[in-house]
Amino acid sequence: MDALDVGVVGCGTAGAAVAMFLARAGHRVTVYERVAEPRPVGAGVTLQPTGQAVLARLGLLAPILDCAARIDRLHAVRHGGRTLVDLRYADVDRRRFGLGLHRGTLFSTLYDAVRREPGVTVRLDAAVTGVEHGSDGITIRGVAGALGRHDLAVAADGSVSELHATAGVPVRAREYPWGALWFVADDPDRIFRDELYQVVRGARRMYGVLPTGRGPERDTPVVSLFWSIRTDDHVRWLDAGLAAWKPEVLGFDRRAGFVLDQITDPSQVVLARYRDVRMTRWHGDRVVFLGDAAHAMSPQLGQGVNLALWDAMVFADAIAAAPALPAALAAYSRDRRRHLRHYQFMTRTLTPMFQSSSRVLGWLRDRFMPLGDRIGPIHRLMVRTMIGLEQGVVRAPLQLPG
């Protein structure tokens, strides 16, 4: 098809990646970012082999490898030490591994690259309020009026997307009642390495630590600590104070003492909230949704940034292969359906087993997940799901290069 004029809403993971893919294919791209001065924020994320493959295609994997921590397994145990699951990448493919990465490092790498990309214009302090369809294009609107008219609008502005209400694409969204407290600590001696480690007690308590490589503007290794909490219990947590919380965390992992010593004020511990976004298709007339704007889910499977990157690559490939824009949009929704449906289903199934008030679900998890982990085909399915490859039990998994 002829070169398109594309407006991308949001300069996060999906927005920056798709902007670079489209610009390199000869399209004109404008990225609208509501923040006046974007900066790296957030805690640790796991960059799975799927996300790594997309960054490699963009030529951005090398700087990520330089900063990240290699992860060889997910090791989850019950409070008291009994293993719940032990998922090792090598059990499926010895070439594969995860990368523990500060979210800010991923942001900075993508943001710096998209700012340098010929064919991409980044407009900061450009808060988008919606879109307006016309006979020959789509207008992206802001508080003061039209921001730009384009052939295509890409919604990549997160789970609370400003385009949900005006794009004409059915969407259902709700906030999860559970979230997580997180803190990023210096770990110069690399006490935590090689694994994402989790400890659970029933479905109400979950502790996790992720080696996170070198964070933005830090020379020493860092580690991210996560603590599951109901969002409406956050005020009570603040009122109880750190003196009540720290001993409980140490009861889950004595190694965390040096992390807790770095927390001197509750304001250092950030509450992360999560949303669930459901769409029957991820495109409309001259508009497409990517990343959390399309399919936000609980971080239970740790797939958010990886699915966003894969969205960007698949959409760019659909644009390159289709003779016209409507066909490309339909192909994108079709091509993403199996992969996304699997992860949405698995996330919605597993999340209440790890973050809920149910005693029954926690009991069922503790009884049956270790059994499944010992059965070869089920174990390998778990590992492929962790890696990001699964498309459902009756579908062939995604194939990665290399």
Q: Tell me the HSE value of 24 on the side-chain side, using a 13 A CA sphere.
A: 17
Q: How confident is the model at residue 7 (pLDDT cuts 50, 70, 90)?
A: very high
Question: How far is it, in rounded angstroms, from Cα 64 to Cα 39?
Answer: 17
Q: Is the pLDDT of residue 402 over 90?
A: no
pLDDT at residue number 20: 98
pLDDT at residue number 84: 97
Name the residue ranges covered by the structural domains of the chain. Answer: 5-41+54-68+104-175+275-387
pLDDT at residue number 335: 96
Instruction: Report, as an integer, the average pLDDT of 172-186.
Output: 96
pLDDT at residue number 217: 74
| DSSP 8-state secondary structure symbol assigned to residue 388 | T
Yes or no: say if 213 and 69 are a contact pair by the CB < 8 Å rule: yes
Q: Is the pLDDT of residue 40 over 80?
A: no
> Angle 222-373-253 (CA atoms, 0-180°, nearest 5)?
35
Instruction: Report, as an integer, the average pLDDT of 77-90.
Output: 96
pLDDT at residue number 89: 98
Instruction: Report, as an integer, the average pLDDT of 207-222.
Output: 90
Question: How far is it, in rounded angstroms, from Cα 8 to Cα 122?
Answer: 9
pLDDT at residue number 61: 98
pLDDT at residue number 11: 97
Yes or no: say if 251 and 244 are a contact pair by the CB < 8 Å rule: no
Q: Is the pLDDT of residue 333 over 90?
A: yes
pLDDT tens digit sequence for 349-385: 999 999 999 999 999 999 999 999 999 999 999 999 9
The beta strands (E) that lie in 267-346 are given as: 270-272, 275-278, 283-284, 287-289
Residues of the chain with pLDDT > 90: what percent?
92
Q: How confident is the model at residue 215 (pLDDT cuts 50, 70, 90)?
A: confident
Question: How far is it, in rounded angstroms, from Cα 183 to Cα 181?
Answer: 7
Instruction: Report, as an integer, the average pLDDT of 43-58.
Output: 96
Instruction: Report, as an integer, the average pLDDT of 101-122.
Output: 96
Give the predicted TM-score (pTM) of the model. 0.96
Question: How far is it, in rounded angstroms, from Cα 309 to Cα 331?
Answer: 17
Residues of the chain with pLDDT > 70: what percent?
100
Q: Which CATH superfamily is domain 5-41+54-68+104-175+275-387 in?
A: FAD/NAD(P)-binding domain (3.50.50.60)
pLDDT at residue number 300: 87
Question: How far is it, in rounded angstroms, from Cα 8 to Cα 121?
Answer: 10
Instruction: Report, as an integer, the average pLDDT of 135-164.
Output: 95
